[in-house]
Each structure stands twice: as C-alpha cells, then as structure tokens.
Amino acid sequence: MIQKFEDLNDVHIDVLMEIGNIGSGNASTALSSMIGKEIKIKMPAVQILDFQQAIEHSGNPEEIRAAVLIRLKGEIEGMILLLVEKKLAEVILDIFFQKKDIDLLSLDEGDVSALSEIGNIMGSSYVSAISTLAGLNVGVEAPSFTADMLGAIMSVPVIEFGEVGDKLLCIDKSIEIDGHSIKSNMLLIPTVDSLSVLFTRLGIL
C-alpha cells in the first residue's frame, strides 16, 4: 500500500506515464477540435518532486506565469495545476483573438476565459484517463485562473497539502501548436490516500 510518495516504484511511475500518455492523446484531440489547429503533445515525462524542486524545475520563482487550478473530487482527491508560460498564452490568444504581445497581468475577461478552458480541457483529459483506466469515479470542480509570480502560485498547493506531504507529480509536456513547439508544466497533486486507491484498483501494490 502506498503510504508516502517515496513508496512509488518504477512500475508505479510507468503507470502514471501511461496515464499521462493517454491523457495527452485525449487533450490533443479535444484541443485540436476546439481551436481548429493541429496539436501534437509528446509523451510526457513524469517526475516526483518536492514543492521547492518543482518551483526550481518550472522556472524562476519571480517569473510571471498564468496558472489554471483544477480541484479533484470523488474517489481521487487533490488538484491539477497547469502552469502557462507567456509563449503558450500568446499562441493561444493569437489564435482566438489575433493578439500578438500580451501582459499576463493585464488579461481581459475573454483572455482569461480562453486560457481557463484550455487548462480545463487538459486537466480533464488526465482525469478522464484515470477514470477510464482504473474505473474510478473522479470529478473536477470549475477551474480557477490566476496570474502571478511562480513562487506565489506554488504557495497554494504548499498551504493546502503541506500537512499531507511535500511531494507532487510533475508532468512535463512538449506541445506543438500551429508550428510552435512549447514546453508545458502540469503538476498533479493527489493525496497519498488517492494514489493508494488508484494503484489498489489497478491491482498494483
């Protein structure tokens, strides 16, 4: 039984990577349909990091990022945090609104709505992969959007999950949209109990 993140072995990581691969495929299809452009998402790399390592891995703590946070509910609890670099936001908003140069701290309501929906689709694709693969009932709450320094954004999961543990799953993806290749960071932060439920349901101890 998984009692802490350090209990995860290579088999567990392989399963999480496969979930990530299925989720990426789902996200590619859904996003391509939404924006009318071909989107390719390479097989993600999954790493177990503590919160400080995740910040350092994702970039400069003082760098401005947008983020879409999706809370999980049901048989799997936790959150998904999609970190959106300026380049990705610019590509998306150029496609939707023909905006070329943006300020992440000065987005209007339409910008926020578009980026939130992109994050919602990507996060929900991973939740759907977990639900389908393990036969679990997992739901999501409406996404919330923010733009701030990376360090400040990362304080949210630290505050909410600090008592449960200090580890998370960092899913790195390379997204190709309309000829633009962009790195994306998605942080999957399930409770340890949820990981135990997932792997027990899959018959992996």
Where helices occur in the chain by DSSP H, the ranges are: 10-35, 51-58, 86-97, 109-134, 150-161, 192-201
Does residue 68 register a pLDDT over 90? yes
Q: CA dihedral in degrees (142, 145, 149, 152; nearest 10)?
A: -30
**In Å, how far are 39, 52, 141, 149 from 56, measured between CA atoms?**
28, 6, 28, 13
Give the residue with greater pLDDT, 86 vs 162: 86
Mean pLDDT of 150-172: 76
Does residue 164 register a pLDDT over 70? no
- Work out the widest C-alpha separation in the chain, in whole angstroms: 50
pLDDT tens string 111-125: 999 999 988 988 888
For 163, other C-beta atoms within 10 Å of its C-beta total: 7
* Residue 111 region by backbone torsions, left for phi larger than 0, else alpha for psi between -120 and 50, else beta: alpha
pLDDT band at 194 (very low <50, low <70, confident <90, very high): confident
pLDDT tens string 126-136: 888 888 888 99
pLDDT tens string 19-61: 878 887 888 888 888 888 888 777 677 788 887 888 888 888 8
